[in-house]
Amino acid sequence: LGHCFECYLDVSSVSRIFLVFEYVPNGTLRSWISGGRARRTLTWTQRITATIGVAKGIQFLHTGIVPGVFSNNLKITDVLLDQNLVAKISSYNLPLLAENMGKVGSGLSSAGSKENNARVKHDDKIDVYDFGCILLEVIVGRPFNSKNEVDVAKDQLQASITADNAARRNMVDPAVHNAYSDESLKTVMEICIRCLRKNPAERPSIEDVLWNLQFAAQVHDAWYGDSESSDGSPASRFSNLHAYS
């Protein structure tokens, strides 16, 4: 909804920054992933939708405000889900935002050049890598505690892509019960691996990430509709959230 600053009266510097959100009742994205011991978990459609929401949030931070905010140190625990399971980013580079607030008046051309410089320095690709870590956990359904664990899982994901459908499905969170299109899964895996490349220059832009996730969602929706119409209601049992006791 907005933000506010706390300033000391005797100095002009900002001491604290507060973000103002609407009430978000469904906790973090991680709490809906089975590896987090969730009692409830997201379907494949809901997982793609949530990650699309995160990608749109990153895109807004990069290009929707002037100057853009980069290097946000995003984590899956920073992603909250509202009553409709819409993803909300709850934390980002607030010190940089505060610093930039006093510089907006310097003109759009100056701010635009700073955004371009950030992209040249690949600051935007830091957020893309962090998004890849979020996407990886959403796919496999378990948390990662170190960069080394992420690298190992990324290599396993890469190997499964070049193997067969069964290998890919073995990588996926069992909680989604194979209720997804293989093409959709493969698309999400491929963009995840690209996000996690070691060389920032080789990582995709957030716009590219968003396009691929939206494509994966469309492919899955088409597959779901075809499978449902072909034999009655095979996928209907997966249409709601899965509950665990």
Per the DSSP assignment, residues forming a β-bridge with 89 are 79
In a domain, 165, yes or no: yes
Which residue carries 């889900």 as its tokens? 81
Containing structural domain, residue 73: 26-93+110-229
**Does residue 111 contact residue 66 with C-beta atoms inside 8 Å?**
yes
CB 175 within 8 A of CB 138: no
Q: Which CATH number belongs to the domain containing residue 134 in this structure? A: 1.10.510.10
* Residues 5 and 13: beta-carbon distance below 8 Å: no
Q: Which residues of the chain carry a pLDDT beneath 70?
A: 1, 8-15, 35-38, 93-120, 229-245
CA distance 60 to 153: 29
104 belongs to a structural domain: no
Q: Report pLDDT digits (tens) over 123-175.
A: 899 999 999 999 999 999 999 999 999 999 999 999 999 999 999 999 999 99
CA nearest neighbour of 190 among 166, 207, 168, 174? 168
In a domain, 15, yes or no: no
What total number of domains does the chain contain? Answer: 1
| Termini Cα distance of the chain | 36
In a domain, 55, yes or no: yes
Q: Length of the chain in residues, anyone?
A: 245
Q: What pLDDT does 18 receive?
A: 76
Please indicate, yes or no, if residue 134 is contained in any of the structural domains. Answer: yes
Q: What is the pLDDT of residue 232?
A: 53
- Residue 236 domain flag: no
Amino acid at 157: L
| Residue 99 placed within a domain | no
Q: How far apart are CA 2 and CA 19, in angstroms?
A: 6
In a domain, 12, yes or no: no
